[in-house]
Amino acid sequence: MSSLSSIEKLLSEYQSTLDLYNKLVTASFSQQSLFEYNEVLFSAHSCAIEGNSFTVNDTRELKEHGFNLKLYNKSMIEAFEILDHFKAFEYLFNNPDLPLTEKLLIDAHKLLTNHTIQYTRGYAPREYTKTRMAAGDTIFPDHETSIANIPALLEQTQQAIDKKVAHPIEIAAKFHKYFIYLHPFPDDNGRLGRLMSNFILAKAGHPIIIIRADQKEQYIDALKISHKHNDLSVMSSFFINTSINRMKDEMLQASQSPAQNKSQKNKNKKGIKFVF
């Protein structure tokens, strides 16, 4: 099966899953509740991919209590990293009509790193890297050339969105691969790339993709293979499959909730029978 036909098959499954997901899950939330649920879940996993030790529950507690939360075996840098992620998330996802521009990217980076990067990297928030970047066993291209190409990436991605040249999830996946390998900032390129890719989905009214911490190796492999073989379908497939699996998992959770089980509710007017 060719890459094109494989992607088309995945997109067909994605759309049918999305239709059902919107009916069974999205419609059952208030807009604010769904926003907060996504903010906590996405922030926890995206930061965990980069080594933050806050769990989803820790992240939810931090969201609710801020610095009134007593931290056990956590660092202040980790807490600030999560709190700054909330700020960047809220800025982007409360303003989905903003166009993709270099200013938007830099403003999001400032919010994302406002209380951390000067202490961890010695850079100011919003500041591009001054040296070539590397991560793990990957050496990224010349930083000056990469930074010079950032405006073009953002402009061309916005044009692709406006002209609907591909499915939004494909545009998001391709943008993500391009951005990660440009790697223009001294830190937080991964977290910013995941935010911006999901911002593209939000602009099109699609659910965000949450790459779980336990998917880190699979995620990095998809990036590497996509880059090594110049095959963007690898990244697109990873994004689509990740989104489908998340929607299916949440639909399963919803179906197991007593509040969603209307047939059971109608059969038993006195309520559910609890077993002790």
> How does pLDDT run across 119-155, given as a tens digit for each residue?
999 999 999 999 999 999 999 999 999 999 999 999 9
Is the model's pLDDT at 263 over the cut of 60? no
* Predicted confidence band of residue 5 (pLDDT cuts 50, 70, 90): confident
For the chain, the C-alpha Rg in angstroms (whole number) is 20
Is the model's pLDDT at 67 over the cut of 60? yes
Q: Is 275 exposed, middle or buried (0-12, 13-18, 19+ CB in 10 A)?
A: exposed
CA 134 to CA 136: how far, in whole Å?
7
pLDDT tens digits along 204-226: 999 999 999 999 999 999 999 99
Q: Which two tokens stand for residue 139?
A: 């050496």
Give the helix ranges, DSSP H, for 102-142.
102-113, 117-120
In the chain, domain spans: 30-250
Q: Which neighbouring-strand residues pair with 134?
A: 139
pTM, two decimal places: 0.93
Taking residues 161-172, report their average pLDDT.
Answer: 98
Question: Tell me, what's the pLDDT at 4?
Answer: 76
Question: Tell me, what's the pLDDT at 168?
Answer: 98
Mean pLDDT of the chain: 94
Topology of domain 30-250 in CATH is Fic-like fold (1.10.3290)
Contact 152, 146 (CB under 8 A): no
What is the number of alpha carbons within 13 Å of residue 266 lying toward its C-beta? 4
Q: Which two tokens stand for residue 10?
A: 């995945």
What is the number of alpha carbons within 13 Å of residue 138 lying toward its C-beta? 14
* Predicted confidence band of residue 268 (pLDDT cuts 50, 70, 90): low
